[in-house]
C-alpha cells in the first residue's frame, strides 16, 4: 500500500529551487560573517556552490567549522596546485564504453543518469566528470537497454550521476519499466544523496514506481556525519522500508568532517536508529580540488581499528578504496591496537 502523501510538505523541487548558491547567502543564516571566511570566488567558478536549506538547518549556528558546512563551503584553497591529484582519480573514462555507461565490474553497470545534484560536495570525485558528454537524453535510454541486451551477464543496474533522483518521477518511472522488462536483471541500485539533503524527495510518486517494480531495490544513501540524519530523514527511510527497499549508507572519510572515533561511532549509531545500515566508508579519492580533505590510508585504518573496538560488527562500515583497474573495490582491514 502506498502511504498517503503529506500535502502540506513543500515539494522537493521547490526546496531545490530555493537552495543556497553562495557564501554571502549562507553566512547570515548561520550567524557567521562572510569576512571571516576564506575567499571562494575562483572555487565557485570552477564548481558552483549549492546547498539545500533543509541541510543548512542541520548545521550548528555560529560554528564556522561545522562538519556539514565544511563539506559544501567553497574555498579557494581548492585551486592550489596539488601533485598526485587528478580530474579523474578512478579513471572512469577508461570504462565508459558508450555514452552514460560506466562498466567497471563484470555483472553490474553504472548508468550516469544526469550530471546534476541537489548539493555540490566540495570533495566529490566526479566534480570534473564530463557530464556534458554523458548526459542521457530521454530517448537515449533505449541505448542503455540495447547495451544490457548485449551483455546478458549483467544482473544489476546502478543508477548514479550526479544524483539520479534529480530526475522527475515522471521520467524515472518509464525508465524503470523498461528495466523491469529485462529478465536478466535482478536488482536496481540507486546511489543518491538527495533524500539526505531534501528528505521530501521521498514522496508518493517515487514510492509508486518503487512499488510497481519487480526488481529488488537498494537505495545507497550518502552521508558522512551523524548530524546529517534527522527525524525527517528517518521518517522517509521508514516509508522506503515499508515499500521493501533495502537502505544502506556509504560515506567518505574526510579531514575536519568525520576523522574522529566519536564522529564515526555517532554516524553508525544514528544511521542504524534511522533504519539505515552502514555499508562503506571510502578513503578519499585524490580528486583535484579536494586535497585539503585527504587523509592517509594508514590513518584511516588506525581510526577504523579504534571504531571497531566500540561498535558491533553489523554497525561497522567496510573501509574501502577504489583502485583504478581493479576488478572490485579493495577492502582495507582496520588496524587494531592490540
Ligand atoms: S551528491 Fe554525490 S555526486 Fe553529487 S556532488 Fe555530492 S558527492 Fe558528488
Q: How far is the CA of 47 from the centre of ligand 1 (A)?
A: 12
122 lines ligand 1 (CB under 6 A): no
Q: What are the pLDDT digits (tens) for 16-68? A: 999 999 999 999 999 998 887 888 889 988 899 999 999 999 999 999 999 99
Q: In what order do the strands lie in the sheet with 216-222?
A: 101-105, 108-112, 156-160, 187-192, 216-222, 246-252, 277-282, 318-321, 330-331
| Poorest-pLDDT segment among 79-83, 170-174, 190-194, 196-200 | 79-83
Q: Is the pLDDT of residue 5 over 60?
A: no
Mean pLDDT value across residues 134-139? 70
Q: Is the pLDDT of residue 151 over 90?
A: yes
- Has 121 been labeled as part of a binding site? yes
Which residue segments constitute the domains of the chain, with CATH numbers given? 12-331 (3.20.20.70)
- Has 293 been labeled as part of a binding site? no
The percent of residues in the chain predicted with pLDDT above 90, rounded, is: 74
Which of 118, 134, 162, 257 gets mutated to test ligand 1 (max ligand atoms within 8 A of its CB)?
162
> Residue 134: what pLDDT?
61
Highest mean pLDDT: which of 22-36, 116-130, 305-319?
A: 305-319
Average pLDDT score, the chain: 92
160 lines ligand 1 (CB under 6 A): no
The DSSP letter of residue 161 is S
Q: Is the pLDDT of residue 83 over 50?
A: yes
- Measured CA to CA, the distance from residue 222 to residue 213 in angstroms comes to 23
- Has 124 been labeled as part of a binding site? yes
For the chain, first and last CA: distance in Å? 51
Q: What are the pLDDT digits (tens) for 215-227? A: 999 999 999 999 9
Q: What are the residues facing 129 on neighbouring strands?
A: none
> Residue 1: what pLDDT?
45
The answer to whether the CB of 125 falls within 8 A of the CB of 85 is: no
Distances (CA, A) of 312 to 44, 253, 267, 269: 41, 20, 13, 10
The answer to whether the CB of 200 falls within 8 A of the CB of 239 is: no
> Residue 6: what pLDDT?
60
The percent of residues in the chain predicted with pLDDT above 70, rounded, is: 96
> Residue 131: what pLDDT?
62
Q: What are the pLDDT digits (tens) for 254-271? A: 999 999 999 999 999 999
Residues in Cβ contact with 338 at an 8 Å cutoff, skipping those fewer than 6 apart: none
> Residue 105: what pLDDT?
86
What is the distance of C-alpha 264 from the center of its chain?
17
Amino acid at each position: 500500500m502506498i502511504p498517503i502523501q503529506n500535502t502540506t510538505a513543500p515539494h522537493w523541487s521547490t526546496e531545490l529551487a530555493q537552495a543556497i548558491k553562495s557564501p554571502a547567502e549562507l553566512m547570515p543564516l548561520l550567524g557567521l560573517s562572510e569576512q571571516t571566511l576564506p575567499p571562494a570566488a575562483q572555487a565557485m567558478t570552477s564548481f558552483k556552490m549549492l546547498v539545500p536549506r533543509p541541510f543548512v538547518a542541520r548545521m550548528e549556528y555560529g560554528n564556522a567549522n561545522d562538519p556539514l558546512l565544511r563539506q559544501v563551503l567553497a574555498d579557494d584553497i581548492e585551486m592550489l596546485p596539488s601533485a598526485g591529484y587528478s580530474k579523474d582519480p578512478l579513471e572512469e573514462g577508461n570504462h565508459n564504453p558508450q555514452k552514460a555507461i560506466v562498466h567497471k565490474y563484470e555483472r553490474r553497470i553504472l548508468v550516469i543518469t544526469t550530471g546534476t545534484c541537489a548539493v555540490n560536495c566540495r570533495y566529490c570525485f566526479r566534480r570534473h566528470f564530463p557530464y556534458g558528454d554523458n548526459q542521457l537524453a530521454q530517448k537515449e535510454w533505449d541505448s542503455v537497454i540495447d547495451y544490457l541486451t548485449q551483455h546478458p551477464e549483467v544482473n544489476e543496474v546502478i543508477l548514479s550521476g550526479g544524483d539520479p533522483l534529480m530526475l522527475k518521477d515522471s521520467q524515472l518511472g518509464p525508465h524503470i519499466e523498461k528495466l523491469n522488462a529485462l529478465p536478466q536483471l535482478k536488482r536496481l541500485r540507486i546511489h543518491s544523496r538527495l533524500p539526505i539533503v531534501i528528505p521530501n524527495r521521498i514522496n508518493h510518486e517515487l514510492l509508486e514506481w518503487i512499488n510497481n517494480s519487480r526488481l529488488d531495490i537498494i537505495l545507497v544513501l550518502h552521508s558522512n556525519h551523524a548530524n546529517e540524519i534527522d527525524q525527517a530523514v528517518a521518517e522517509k527511510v521508514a516509508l522506503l522500508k515499508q515499500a521493501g527497499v533495502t537502505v544502506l549508507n556509504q560515506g567518505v572519510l574526510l579531514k575536519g568532517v568525520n576523522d574522529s572515533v566519536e564522529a564515526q561511532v555517532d554516524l553508525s549509531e544514528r544511521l542504524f536508529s534511522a533504519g539505515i545500515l552502514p555499508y562503506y566508508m571510502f578513503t578519499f579519492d585524490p580528486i583535484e580540488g579536494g586535497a585539503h580533505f585527504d587523509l592517509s590510508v594508514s590513518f584511516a585504518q588506525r581510526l577504523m581499528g579504534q571504531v571497531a573496538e566500540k561498535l558491533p560488527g553489523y554497525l561497522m562500515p567496510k573501509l574501502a578504496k577504489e583502485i583504478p583497474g581493479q576488478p572490485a573495490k579493495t577492502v582495507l582491514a582496520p588496524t587494531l591496537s592490540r
